[in-house]
Amino acid sequence: MNKRIYTLMISFFIIGMMQNAIASPAQTKSVRELIKLSDLENVLSTSLDEMQPTLDLEAENILLRVLGKEKLNTTQEYLAVIELSQLLKDTSSKVYARPETLQAIEKIYTETLTEEEIQAYLKFLRTPEGKSINQKNLKIGTHVFQYMNNLSQQTLSDPEQSLQIKEQFLTIIKPLIQQQ
C-alpha cells in the first residue's frame, strides 16, 4: 500500500514538473508589447536609411542590366540611379507601413518565441544595456547585410566565378529550354 502511494506521489510530481517544463505559447499582447518596446517601426525606418548604400548599388545594377552596360557613363544615368534608389527606398517604406506587414511580424514572433522567452526579452529591453544592444543590433545587422551583399557582388564580378556560375546556371535550366 505504501509503495502505491509513493508511486502515485512520484507520478503527480513528475506530471507537475512536466507541465512547468513545457513552455506556453506566446501571447499576442506580449508580442505587441515586445514589438513596441523594441521600437520595431523606428528600427525598420532607420534600417532603410542605413541600407542606402546597398539600395544605391542595387539601383545601379538594375540600370546596368536594363541598359546592357557594364559601366555608367553619363550624368543622366547617374541621376537615374539616384531616382531608382529612392524608388526602392520609398517602395520598401510603404511595404513596412502596411498593417499586414506588422501582422506578419507579430506572427513570426508568436511562432518563434514562447511566452517565457518574450517575458525575459521584455525584462532585458527595459534595462539600459538592453536598450543599447537593441539599437546596436540594427547597425550590426545592416553591416552584415551590406558585407554579404558586397561579397556577393565581388563574387559575381570575378570573371572566373561569374563564368562558373553561368555554366552551372545553364546546366540547371538546359532541360527547361529543351522542353519548349
pLDDT at 98: 86
Amino acid at 162: S
Asked whether the beta carbons of 30 and 119 are under 8 A apart, the reply is yes
Asked whether the beta carbons of 105 and 40 are under 8 A apart, the reply is yes
Contacts of 132 (CB under 8 A, 6+ apart): none
pLDDT at 116: 95
Question: Per-10-residue mean pLDDT for the chain, 180 residues long?
Answer: 57 53 84 88 77 86 88 91 90 86 92 94 94 85 81 78 82 78
pLDDT at 49: 80
Helices (H), the chain: 2-21, 28-37, 40-50, 52-67, 75-97, 99-112, 115-125, 128-157, 159-179
Q: Give the pTM.
A: 0.60
CA distance 27 to 116: 10
CA distance 156 to 165: 8
Give residue limits of the domains in the chain.
Answer: 25-154
pLDDT at 102: 87
Asked whether the beta carbons of 92 and 3 are under 8 A apart, the reply is no
> For 150, what's the count of Cα atoms within 13 Å in the CB-facing half-sphere?
9
CA distance 64 to 20: 58
pLDDT at 20: 47
pLDDT at 100: 92
The C-alpha cell 555554366 sits at 167
